[in-house]
Amino acid sequence: MAKSDPLLEAARDGAGEQELLDIDLPATFRASFIRKDEVGIFEGQTDKDVRRSMHVGDVDMPELAPDECVVAVMSAAINFNTVWSAIFEPVPTFAFLAKFGRQGWYGARHDLPYHILGSDGSGVVVRTGVGVKNWKVGDRVVISPSYVDEEDHGSYDDGMMSESQLAWGFETNFGSLGDYCIVKANQLIRKPRHLSWEEAGSNTLCAATAYRMLVGKHGAQMKQGDVVLIWGATGGLGSYATQLVKNGGGIPVGVVSSEDKADLVRAQGCEHVINRNDLDLGEQGLRHPKAGRMLGEAIRGLVGEDPGIVFEYLGRETFGASVYVAKRGGRIVTCGSSTGFKHEYDNRFLWMRLKSIIGSHGFNYHEAVETNRLFSLGMIHPTLSKVFSLEDAGEATRAVQTNQHIGKVAVLCGATAEGQGVDDPAMRERIGEEKLTLFRR
């Protein structure tokens, strides 16, 4: 910690409700943020290095709305949306904050000249708004980044269907990359007791997104025996997708870009792995007209059939191949376009073979809770590979920006060292460090 903060220290040390309430909330706190007056600094540059746009400094503690809590963040994590925010693409996130601000009421607080990023985290509740009834000060939590307005009728069947749904820490301010963050009480989930702060705080965004895409009723609804092609099987989304497919009785086929990554995917229990560099597609890479056919042959060579589900988020580079390799009646489920938003694919292979493309985004509260339940039960595990300090949040984001990472990257905030926050060491021992820290080795 940069300066002494009695509340943060007490929260870290496991102080009880009254003790935490007796300590004043600080007026300012340390956070990592981007600045509105720097939008445009990357114009015309090829390497938009996020270390230039991410700053660490003191920010004001915001006022608390009745349905919100202040969480003393022990650990946060980097997601790809942190990268998008820090390069001000596809649109500067200050546009989201301004839109939120126009809602008035407590939304107006978010429209500031700085944006505290971070959409995943774990920590301790240190204040609750007057309307919060199920959570109390001292609760140890993980934060779901899905931000839903329950007064919006659109959210009643599925929170993601509400027009006002937001990605917390991306489309809202006061995210997890700070010593404190502000959340709606409905974003809180009990922390899996056997995990450390940094392990618990790095899962929800990617794991629950993968859960909705593969398992949830709005996604591909994977069933036992389904063959699932997973791009980037050691990445944030991919590393959880692989586990969810295995855990649900499916047959994952992981795509990676190196032999080390292939070994890691096998160590996760995924027998079938393709190193995309072995496809020998020349400069065009996966956009080569024969990429789909070559990938399809590789998949059939491994499992003897075409995938019923393709787990997509890469977009321009891979989408044509993804549509091609899916089996007759197969589903291509997509939640992103890392390599470019405008895709090309040969539509004949879609309609003649009765395939479908499913757009997916985030997850609702139910899906976030169900996903964290799987972690709590020890059925799926964190894929944390590297831990940075809050002062180095820019470095941590740079690792994700340049694909130098595997799995997830965490950022310690209130926690002073890795491994803190484990409440159930016996369960940890039962599951085994080998599974829990696979991506650290």
Ligand X SMILES: NC(=O)c1ccc[n+]([C@@H]2O[C@H](COP(=O)([O-])OP(=O)(O)OC[C@H]3O[C@@H](n4cnc5c(N)ncnc54)[C@H](OP(=O)(O)O)[C@@H]3O)[C@@H](O)[C@H]2O)c1
Binding site for ligand X (CB under 6 A): 79-81, 205-206, 209, 231-232, 234-238, 255-257, 261, 276, 286, 313-314, 317-318, 335-336, 338-339, 361-362, 400, 403
* CA dihedral over 278, 262, 316, 291, signed as positive or negative: positive
Quote the least distance from Cβ 401 to ligand X, whole Å: 8
Quote the least distance from Cβ 314 to ligand X, whole Å: 5
Quote the least distance from Cβ 286 to ligand X, whole Å: 6
CA distance 296 to 267: 24
Question: Between β-strands 356-359 and 331-334, what pairing exists: parallel, antiparallel or unpaired?
Answer: parallel
Quote the least distance from Cβ 103 to ligand X, whole Å: 22
Give 216 or 414: the residue with its C-beta nearer to ligand X.
216
Side chain identity at residue 107, one-letter code: G
Ranges assigned E (strand) in 303-343: 309-312, 331-334
End-to-end CA distance of the chain: 27
- Within 10 A of 315 (CB to CB), how many other CB atoms are there? 17
Give 111 or 312: the residue with its C-beta nearer to ligand X.
312
CB 291 within 8 A of CB 279: yes
CA 118 to chain centre: 10
CA distance 272 to 417: 36
CA distance 13 to 126: 13
CB 408 within 8 A of CB 384: yes
Quote the least distance from Cβ 254 to ligand X, whole Å: 9
CA distance 106 to 129: 12
Give 32 or 128: the residue with its C-beta nearer to ligand X.
32
Residue spans of alpha helices (H) in 304-364: 319-325, 347-351
Give 257 or 437: the residue with its C-beta nearer to ligand X.
257
Quote the least distance from Cβ 78 to ligand X, whole Å: 9
* Cα–Cα nearest to 276, from 307, 233, 228: 233
Give 72 or 294: the residue with its C-beta nearer to ligand X.
294
Quote the least distance from Cβ 332 to ligand X, whole Å: 14
Quote the least distance from Cβ 197 to ligand X, whole Å: 20
CA distance 265 to 281: 23
Quote the least distance from Cβ 335 to ligand X, whole Å: 4
Give 69 or 255: the residue with its C-beta nearer to ligand X.
255
Give 28 or 339: the residue with its C-beta nearer to ligand X.
339
Give 404 or 416: the residue with its C-beta nearer to ligand X.
404
Residue spans of alpha helices (H) in 130-277: 197-200, 204-214, 236-247, 259-267
Quote the least distance from Cβ 37 to ligand X, whole Å: 25
Q: Locate 412 and state its tokens.
A: 């310690």
CA distance 259 to 276: 10
Give 80 or 114: the residue with its C-beta nearer to ligand X.
80
Give 73 or 255: the residue with its C-beta nearer to ligand X.
255
User: Which residue of this chain has its Cβ atom nearest to ligand X in the complex?
Assistant: 235
CA distance 168 to 251: 33
CA distance 122 to 379: 20
Quote the least distance from Cβ 239 to ligand X, whole Å: 8
Give 32 or 385: the residue with its C-beta nearer to ligand X.
385
DSSP 118-153: -S-EEEEEEEE-TT--S--TT-EEEE--EE--TTSG
DSSP for residue 39? T
